[in-house]
Structure 1
Amino acid sequence: MADTVSSAPPRSPLSSYAARFAAATRTSRGAVRLAELPFLSQLDVRLDAKGSAADAVGLALGVQLPLEPNAVARTGGSTALWLGPDEWLLVAPAGGQRDLERRIRAAAGDDPVAVTDVSAQRTTFLVSGPRARDVLAHGCSLDLHPRAFGPGRCAQTTLGRAQVVLVARDDPGAGFWVLVRSSFAGYLADWLLDAATEYL
């Protein structure tokens, strides 16, 4: 008997939290807004930052790979996060990872490059609103003041007890992305809802 492939649509790690996030946003009157951005394309890219491939990949993607530690570069729908001297996380709209990987490999040519699709590894929270920094500060040891962690900055850190990649969005009012491993998503959702309680 032939194996059958399920045609059921994918289910995000936080699909069961959508109503609770919406209720928290309503109750806080927008002071804290919580949402999931599911299924974003996420590619881990490793290459020599000083080699010709770095510039070529940036041109091919339309977003230069940032060379400054913990910096973010964004163009259109693509965002490149600096994770290390030779490592970046490329975040783009859902479903584009194969095309992005093909473009990266073609642009790198014969230069060594490693591209790993980690889209299914993490999900992304959007935490925004006037009290977003206060909520995150309850469980993050980073100085989240805009002077220290303003728009265009990212960091690998912990939030609560979960390892995350925290991204300050370009517009100060746009809040933060919190990228977390899917297996910790439920824990972090409960943590965020609890941390936001004083504003609800």
Structure 2
Amino acid sequence: MAFNSTVETLPEMGRFSLRCKRENTVAMSKALGFELPSSISESAQSGGMTALKLGSDEWMLTCPMEARSEIEKSLAAIYPDAVHSLTDISSREVSIRISGPKAEELLSTSCPRNLAELKSGRGVRTIFDSVQVILTREEQNQFRLDVWRSFVPHVMGLLTVAVAEFECGL
């Protein structure tokens, strides 16, 4: 029986860590062109850009690499009226997509979260083995792990072993 799921490294994308107070989210949303999510683990998308709320005052923004400077300019323009912290973390992380009918089961080999409770379009900061990651359920059978670049060999190694075990029927 074929395993029928895939693990792949995704192309580079722009990433920002955005921090701001609640009272500044309206101005931030206007500058970005879409409303920032208000609940932790909620995401919002518009035109290739995604905002994932990770904490009470923290979002991860992702976008095409070529859109980074426009985001920086838009948010710099409102800084005097809406103080915030925007840090480009594009080179820090790598995204790994796990997809297919056994994706949830595959991730469960090293992630302690109950992934059945993570709804499509939501994301969380969690642990994969001993590595802090951001895990997003993009679709029912498709997940994305955002992993610090230095930990990618470890995470990919664990996923490779888990895939081999599934393929062997272990």
TM-score clears 0.5: yes
Q: Cα deviations across residues 14-61 of structure 1 (Å, max 9, x unaligned)?
A: xxxxxxxxxxxxx946x2111111321000111112x1x312222332
Give, in whole Å, the separation in 1 of the partners of 2:44 and 2:79. 19
Give, in whole Å, the separation in 2 of the partners of 1:116 and 1:163. 19
Q: Cα deviations across residues 134-159 of structure 1 (Å, max 9, x unaligned)?
A: 000111111101xx101121111111
Q: Cα deviations across residues 123-180 of structure 1 (Å, max 9, x unaligned)?
A: 10011111100000111111101xx1011211111112211000011x324x111000
Amino acid paired to 1:71: E
Aligned length: 167
1:164 has 2:133 as partner: yes
Runs of 4+ in 1 over 3 A off after TM superposition: none
Between 1:151-160 and 1:102-111, the stretch displaced more is 102-111
Give, in whole Å, the separation in 2 of the partners of 1:79 and 1:85. 17
Distance 1:183 1:75, change over 3 A: same
5+ long unaligned stretches in structure 2: none
Give, in whole Å, the separation in 1 of the partners of 2:78 and 2:10. 29
SS at match of 2:87: strand
Give, in whole Å, the separation in 1 of the partners of 2:105 and 2:45. 25
Higher strand share: 2
Give, in whole Å, the separation in 2 of the partners of 1:102 and 1:125. 29
Q: State the Cα RMSD in Å.
A: 1.7
Q: Cα deviations across residues 69-114 of structure 1 (Å, max 9, x unaligned)?
A: 1111122311111111111000111232222111122244422111
5+ long unaligned stretches in structure 1: 1-26
SS at match of 2:158: helix
Contact 2:17 2:61 in 1 (8 A): yes
Q: So what's the TM-score if we normalise by structure 2?
A: 0.90
SS at match of 2:31: helix
Give, in whole Å, the separation in 2 of the partners of 1:167 and 1:122. 14
Amino acid paired to 1:76: G
Q: So what's the TM-score if we normalise by structure 1?
A: 0.78
SS at match of 1:156: strand
Matched ranges for 1:7-86 at <5 A:
28=2, 31-49=4-22, 51=23, 53-86=24-57
Match for residue 108 of structure 2? 137
Larger Rg: 1
